[in-house]
Structure 1
Amino acid sequence: MPRAVVRHAPDRADDLIWENDRVAHRIYGPALQKLEPPSGSGIDAWVKKVRWPFMDRQLKTPSYHNDYGEGLDFYGVGGSRGVGGLGIWFDDKLWVSRNWASHQILQNGPDVASFQVSYAPWPVGVDRRVWETRTFTLSLGSHFTRLQSVIDSDKPEDLIVGIGLNKTPVGTARGVLTVDAKQGLLMLWTPAHAQHGAMGTAVRVDPAQVVDVGADADNHLVRLRVKPGQPFVYYIASVWERGLDFRTREAWEAHVRAEQLTFDPR
């Protein structure tokens, strides 16, 4: 049965997993940070070819990187931002948090999966610290997870927030990047994985906040101007060419552009 669901998975090193009838994602928690230091706060994307939740079962298989008929995880996050992780851009570098430090599940279906995480303070340069609270919301029937972030700081000056897409999530080859700064849009269509095909990933931000679009060694980045303590909203999305929805880059990009999204904080 199609549902939007979220689960904390202490049995898989504190993963937080969420999915609906179209997409599946996870972020990494405190246990994994200890098991596989330094771990990271990038956002993972899984692929699925069923309308019902499958991530919980997939985590219990011999390897969730294999396709047993419902989907799998073949997207590589590594040290990147994955699909829409963020950091603070300062001194030509992205300063990023560790894994989430605490969590609260707000709604576990059936039509909405929503949860909130906090990230412990991390340094930006040598004399500034920031910390973040972020709320994730995924509705049934949508490819887009809504992220509302509040980044506080021990200094009042504006922050430049970089939101990223991993440049090489499938092997070492680079895919096709589409940028539309006026629409606040980054899209990447990956090269085809030898066994599993290609994925599409996307980030959409409020165009009014965009400073520029650029990159670092690991990520394509859209950079926003943000005031400490004030919420801002952005969206992440993904698709699999072997899934149930969009099979080509052109169809996926048309969908991402056309989706009606609101950036007003709640």
Structure 2
Amino acid sequence: MNRRLCAAATVVLLAGTSLAQDMPPIASPLPPAADRSPKAAVVLADYRYGDLLWENDRTAHRIYGHALEAAEPPSGSGIDSWGKNVVWPFMDRQLRTGDQHAYHGEGLDFYNVGTGRGAGGLGIWFDNKLWTSRNYRSYRILKNGPNVADFEVDYAAWPVDVTRKVWEKRRFTLPLGTHFTRMVSTIRSDKPEPLLVGIGIGKRTTGDGGELTVDRARGLLSWWGPEDRGHGRMAVALRVDPAMIAEIRQDADNHLVLLRVTPGKPFVYYSGSAWSLGEGGFRSREAWDRYAAAEPLDFRLPR
């Protein structure tokens, strides 16, 4: 192959991701994917304490199962986000290596949820504090691709100070072609009074710093994470129904949007994320903010 054709082939291979010199070195290649076509997928990682993995052609996420609470304390109900630079599913093969924090050519996990909310976890805001659940207790996979990843989880009852208890069912839906997972949350309580639900973005998931954009009129919180040398950046955005917003604030671990919620009444919100070296081509805060603000999202509940 002559130099001109070789250069053209390289451009095609790297289109939609990033320049090769920007990528981390490959530790070892993953086992090849059986199908390299774009696909949405949800997988129960029963070999890893019940992690639930979901991804599409642009973004990848994980939540943690009950068994992890004992194996890796403290463990909580925040949402993990992985970088990916391929359009086919990779998370299950990456996690099975036992070395998901390294780059194996298709993506990596360098986002540290800790006990914060990560990329769109929630809690109940009461007495100037966020009261959060532990890891999910049960799940139901509703559709495992190819065009959508769709599942539900239940969170066991947790206390809000000593005044009440709440519990939650949440549905996660991620179709192809978007960075945003649609979430439908139903929070019930042993008392009928309204709740303030805090939905968060973790502050220090990829190191200290990061830049936050708030657009209350659009119901948007958009975070452009700090540069992690050798890993790039993670970007996270929340979109909520602006009519539900009570306040936008923060605690020690999270940037938060507080929503007025009626116990037993479902509500919709969206959480999106992207990797600066991955699918989507977001190489600047401005590009991510524009996308997050403009993505058409539907907050209506099905009748």
Please tell me the TM-score bracket, short chain as reference: over 0.9
Unmatched 5+ stretches in structure 2: 1-36
Q: 3-state SS of the aligned residue for 1:33?
A: helix
Aligned 8 A contact 2:57 2:279 in 1: no
CA distance in structure 1 between the aligned counterparts of 2:258 and 2:187, rounded to whole angstroms: 14
Q: Does 1:15 align with 2:48?
A: no
1:237 to 257, 266, 272: 272
CA contact (8 A) 1:179 1:186 kept: yes
2:211 alignment partner in structure 1: 176
**Which residue of 1 is the match for residue 237 of structure 2?**
202
Task: Tell me if structure 2 keeps the 8 A contact 1:38–1:98.
Answer: no
More strand by share: 1
Give 5+ residue unaligned stretches, structure 1. Answer: none
Say which of 258, 270, 281 aligns to 1:223.
Answer: 258
1:68 aligned partner, one-letter code? H
Of all paired residues, the percent bearing the same amino acid is 60
Q: Which residue of 1 aligns with 2:85?
A: 49
Give the 5 Å matches for 1:26-45: 26-45=62-81
Q: TM-score, normalised by structure 2?
A: 0.86
- 2:295 and 2:190 map into 1 onto residues whose CA distance is 36
In 2, the alpha carbon distance for the partners of 1:122 and 1:265 equals 26
For residues 173-230 of structure 1, the C-alpha deviation after alignment (integer angstroms, 9 at most, x for no partner) is 2101101112111111011001111111000000000001000000000000000000
Whether the 8 Å CA contact 1:6–1:18 is kept in 2: the answer is: yes
Q: Which has the larger radius of gyration?
A: 2
Give matches, 1:103-182, under 5 Å.
103-171=139-207, 173-182=208-217
Amino acid at match of 1:13: Y
The alpha-carbon deviation at position 244 of structure 1 amounts to 2.7
State the Cα deviation string for residues 48-84 of structure 1 (Å, max 9, x = none). 0101100011001241000010000001100100000
Q: Is the Cα contact below 8 Å between 1:159 and 1:228 reproduced in 2?
A: yes
User: Does 2:225 correspond to 1:190?
Assistant: yes
Structure 1 CA distance, aligned partners of 2:244 and 2:90?
A: 36
Give, in whole Å, the separation in 2 of the partners of 1:163 and 1:200: 16
Secondary structure, aligned partner of 1:250: helix
Between 55-64 and 226-235, the greater mean CA deviation after superposition: 55-64
Other-structure match for 2:247:
212
1: CA distance, partners of 2:237 / 2:138: 26
Say whether the 8 Å CA contact 2:74–2:114 is kept in structure 1.
Answer: no
* Aligned-residue offset at 1:127: 2.1
1:199–1:238: 8 Å Cα contact kept in structure 2?
yes
2:67 is paired with a residue of what secondary structure? helix
Aligned to 1:65: 101
Deviations 1:99-120 (A, max 9, x none): 0010000000010100000000
| Alpha-carbon distance between aligned partners in 2 of 1:133 and 1:79, rounded to the nearest angstrom | 20
- The residue identity in structure 1 corresponding to 2:169 is T
Worse-matched range after superposition: 181-190 or 19-28: 181-190
The CA deviation at 1:37 is: 2.7
Q: Which runs of 4+ in 1 moved over 2 A?
A: none
Deviation at 1:36, TM superposition (A): 1.8
Question: Superposition RMSD on alpha carbons, in Å?
Answer: 0.8
The answer to whether the Cα contact below 8 Å between 2:59 and 2:279 also exists between their aligned partners in 1 is: no
